[in-house]
Structure 1
């Protein structure tokens, strides 16, 4: 590290801008008929959502350290059985839900979307809905612990966002019946941090998409090596991602300059083959309007995204399979008792995983 470089940017400044959850949240969850319902809030008004093409399910993953609200957007054709092809079934959500739960395995690609700073599910929903329809994929969008309806209840940190995404990934596999090799992690801006980190842990993923990513938090303020005090050091981690990568950035981005993506791209190529990574620099796109270029689906960028979404990963190795099972957290149901797994950090050996398991991973949780 360059001498004195870490002192050029005060920690207080970094902390101020690193985690800025919207307050109040831009959505709400209401518990009705034994399940959560998601409602975006637009200009202070709660909105009812309904789609003839999509099913939207809401969950909260919760234990003593983790509070993750999420929405799962799936296409109606995703889990229909041959016996339920009628037009009436498409409009009968209760019947569709029953058919969905009978399916042992989903077959569509799943995107797990990690959102930007100063954002929550209320902002993300409409983008996620559009991507699901345009590209024919399922999507999970989630809030980090301490964001959204969990604001003020839990501490927000870099490590916690890693735990959040790892738990969502495990939930998608253990509860929603996806396979690791059909899941793509998608990180936007700050969300590139947890997406990149978890992609280094699970090589069997179908891919990693980074939308206007940061090289690291301190590098967002000024380029350099800031040592251990830096967070979300994507430029040091990206070389260890084994799945395919697509980086998308606008050339007119004034919030996170495209030089951040260029650094990630070049750093990856120092250690890996060119064929595993693509970099799309979108002409005329800024930071927040880049999504409108992504949503089109019929331009050159759309072709790249379509190709990326058709990729399949190699699936589990034994270590990844064990870790995802150990960090499984069941959805929170008010008033019920449930057994939950603690969310676990990254392990270096199967022996350590087994030792943690023997020490007692289960605890009885009273949910309120």
Structure 2
């Protein structure tokens, strides 16, 4: 049965529609005075952004396989002076520590947003700004390796998107000084794939929000179990998420039908208690305009989102703690030598972690 289902949907068709980064990118980064600055591009024109409510910082995480631009939006009332902009980080057996005193622990909840296909930081920024202001949270948006300003430079793959998000999560904890239990992963459409996968790895997360998610890539084309060739099999993974979950979908979505969310919701309930998951079907909302319903924050949907964003996660175990430290990748600073990992692909089990420790963890590279 699996073979016949696979034959109905050619791999070439799946690959064509799975990863479609905008070209050209809808934003640019400019390096000045030792840091990156983010500029969205609207109708071909670079725009200067200014917010009275938010501080906007830009970073690029980079190693030999990974190139992840990200923007970090923080409420000005809680903004801290960054004293370690270009400090090199050293490793010890317990954790990564900067050679200056670590910053004060941040007190706002943090959303890490994984965007949809055919999207990048240029259009995600405005959504992030509204979420940060409306719900009183800090916000990180990032591009998958091969998207945005990294288009054409690196291979795009399902596994790579997992490494990208795990690196951003580790960066938020080791460099930006958030705690795992104050971080919410938020995945939109294709972004529900990496968000769900990483949420299964870290039970101490504060929550998982899935916006117009897919049950899996092949299920987006047609219902069925497609075996190992399927991608982003969220409907098989969601039962292993230990954090609180909120699924949001529009009942008029013509791109990803709300049946995909219903499948995720029902699969979760087959193995878990109802109290850990909620689903909101928004009347009259489609795929891309669902965000405007979310941004308002005034109705029952806004209350559900606000309620999840206020709840901190539980404790995380030693395996999760170790994995987050091992996946730390320092930001790219042109012309400087930095210590970082060459590969994150093997960091999926405690045995591999121990093996990597024994055989050495670092390589010295020069960033250009």
4+ residue segments displaced more than 4 Å: 96-102, 346-349
In structure 1, what is the Cα distance between the partners aligned to 2:295 and 2:277?
21
C-alpha distance in 1 between matches for 2:233 and 2:188: 15
Alignment of structure 1 residues 5-154 onto 2, 5 Å: 5-79=5-79, 96-97=81-82, 103-154=103-154
* Whole-angstrom CA distance in 2 between matches of 1:345 and 1:187: 21
Report the CA distance between 1:357 and its aligned residue: 1.7
Matches within 5 A, 1:283-322: 283-322=283-322
Deviation string 1:29-73 (CA, Å, 9 cap, x unpaired) is 000010000000000000001111100000000000000000000
Pair 1:274-2:274 in alignment? yes
C-alpha distance in 2 between matches for 1:54 and 1:348: 35
Cα distance in 2 between the residues matched to 1:352 and 1:186 = 28
Q: What whole-Å deviation, never above 9, does each CA across 1:255-311 have from its counterpart, x for those lacking one?
A: 000000000000000000000000000000000000000000111100000000011
Question: What is the alpha-carbon distance in structure 1 between the residues aligned to residue 348 and residue 55 of structure 2?
Answer: 38
The SS at the match of 1:4 is helix
Matching residue of 2:165: 165
- C-alpha distance in structure 2 between counterparts of 1:164 and 1:3, whole Å: 31
Task: Please report how far the alpha carbon of residue 133 of structure 1 lies from its aligned counterpart in structure 2 after TM superposition.
Answer: 0.2
* CA distance in structure 1 between the aligned counterparts of 2:54 and 2:83, rounded to whole angstroms: 15
Deviations 1:159-189 (A, max 9, x none): 0000000000000000000000000000000
- What's the secondary structure of 1:257's corresponding residue? coil
Where in structure 1 are there 5+ consecutive unaligned residues?
Answer: 81-95
Query: Which residue number corresponds to residue 240 of structure 1?
Result: 240
User: What's the Cα RMSD here?
Assistant: 1.5
- Asked if the contact 1:250–1:282 (Cα under 8 Å) also holds between the matched residues in 2, the reply is yes
8 Å contact 1:163–1:343 — kept in the other structure? no
Shift of 1:213: 0.1
Task: Name the counterpart of 1:201.
Answer: 201
TM-score (norm 2): 0.93
Structure 1 CA distance, aligned partners of 2:364 and 2:83? 29
Distance 1:171 1:360 in 2: 21
Q: 1:346 to 1:337 in 2, by over 3 A?
A: closer
Paired residue secondary structure (2:334)? coil
Taking structure 1 as reference, are residues 207 and 234 closer, same or farther at Cα in structure 2, changes over 3 Å only? same
Answer whether contact 1:326 1:342 (CA < 8 A) is retained. Answer: no
Partner of 1:334: 334
Structure 2 equivalent of residue 259 of structure 1: 259
Q: How many residues align?
A: 353
